Amino acid sequence: MASRRASNFWFGLLALVVATFLWFLAHRSSMIERGYDIPVVFKGVPENLVITDQSADVVNIQVQGSRAAHRNFFATKTEYGIDVAGAKPGPALYELDLSRIELPRGTQIVSRSPASIEVEFERRGRKSVQIRPDLEGEPADGYVISEIAVDPPRVWLTGARSAVLRLSEVVTETIQVAGIDAPLEREARLSLGSEHVWMEESRPVKVRISVEALEPLEPLDGDQQGESKG
């Protein structure tokens, strides 16, 4: 009787080991890897600085986990924040700590790219410049443009100091005036010429164009025609 109990014990233990091994294999086979691009967001940028360049705007991570875990990982709602408070003008290097990325239970990051991000900071500048409308075309026959008014006539710009100080004026988007014979008013966007320059106040720019008719030429009378021929 004792030998039979011992035999059953060992058979049971063997069955448990086999079942555990099979479960482990099934679990391993259900693990998959997927890549995700996590947007990089800079926080705490000093008010006197502007970011003009960065070596990467996303961090690519390869995540290993079950299919269910991957379905629970909403990468579009995940971001990697970098605190740049205390930054100074010039380049700065920030090592990535991916332990701050929240992952679903049962997943892990197996690789990443890049390992660090280099950021270029520049002092912020501001300047008031004139707005010049960019007109294309000619009014209708017999009409000329008599006045062009821009509201506001000038705009305050801010951004990277080197880019701001280079500007003496900003130009509106192209406004078509071909064939007009009456006053025209348009809201126009500005072409600032640099992605590191912005308007301090985001307000619409209105361009008003007035036209007037040309005076018709008076026909010459007979004596004048004769004199002109003579």
Looking at the structure, tell me whether residues 59 and 139 fall in a common domain: no
- Sorted by sequence, the CB contacts under 8 Å of residue 148 that are 6+ apart come out as 133, 135, 207, 208, 209, 210
The verdict on 55 and 103 lying in the same domain is yes
For 53, the domain range is: 30-122
Neighbouring C-alpha atoms within 13 Å toward the C-beta of 55: 14
- The CATH number of whichever domain residue 103 belongs to comes to 2.170.120.30
pLDDT digits (tens, 9 = 90+) for 185-222: 999 999 998 889 999 988 889 999 999 998 776 665 65
Task: Render pLDDT for 220-229 as a digit per residue (tens, 0 to 9).
Answer: 565 555 555 5
Cα 26 to Cα 19, 33, 104: the distances in Å are 10, 16, 20
Closest CA to 60 of 115, 13, 102, 15: 115
Same domain? For 131 and 206 the reply is: yes
Q: Give CA–CA dist 77/83, Å, rounded.
A: 19
Residue 116 sits in the same domain as residue 143:
no
Residue 168 in any domain: the answer is yes
Per-residue confidence (pLDDT) for residue 230, from 0 to 100: 47
Amino acid 40: pLDDT? 94
Q: Within the chain, which residues score under 70 in pLDDT? A: 1-30, 74-76, 217-230
Cβ within 8 Å of residue 197, ≥6 positions away: 157, 158, 159, 160, 163, 164, 167
pLDDT recorded at residue 185: 95
The pLDDT of residue 29: 47
How many structural domains comprise the chain? 2
Residue 105 in tokens: 């239970």
